[in-house]
Amino acid sequence: MAGKWGYKDVVPITAMVAVECSDVVLSILFKAASLKGMSYFVYIAYCYVLATLVFVPLAFLSNRKKLLLPLEFPLISRICLLGLLGFSGQVCAYKGLELGSPTLASAISNLAPAFTFILAVLF
């Protein structure tokens, strides 16, 4: 049955489309907010608060039967490093969006898989 799509086939595609749509919406909202004088630090803080309000309840509702790693210093330091890298990336992206256009930001974000592939080949 080559023509039928299963649930597990559609979910990843739907998630990718949703992420791209939300990225475009966030870029347009940021451009509108920055034109009215909002700082990109405040906008990033609002995005983090909104993400926390969405994902923390989902973490408690998810399947908790798996054994979790203990919270030790190496794990916490890696989590903090990933958070710092994500924050730095968002600051750079929104500062560039403030100086440029949402179209340029969307085009650059589409190049991320190509940059990832090049870095994977090099390292």
* First-to-final CA distance of the chain: 41
In a 10 Å sphere around its CB, with 0-12 CB exposed, 13-18 middle and 19+ buried, how is residue 29 labelled?
middle
Q: What is the pLDDT along the chain (123 residues), one digit of tens a residue?
A: 555 777 778 888 898 888 888 888 888 888 888 889 888 889 888 988 998 899 888 877 776 677 777 889 999 999 899 989 988 988 888 888 778 777 777 777 778 788 888 988 888
Please report where in the chains the tokens 């916490």 appear, as a residue: 76
Contacts of 28 (CB under 8 A, 6+ apart): 102
What distance in Å separates the CA atoms of residue 122 and residue 34, rounded to the nearest whole number? 37
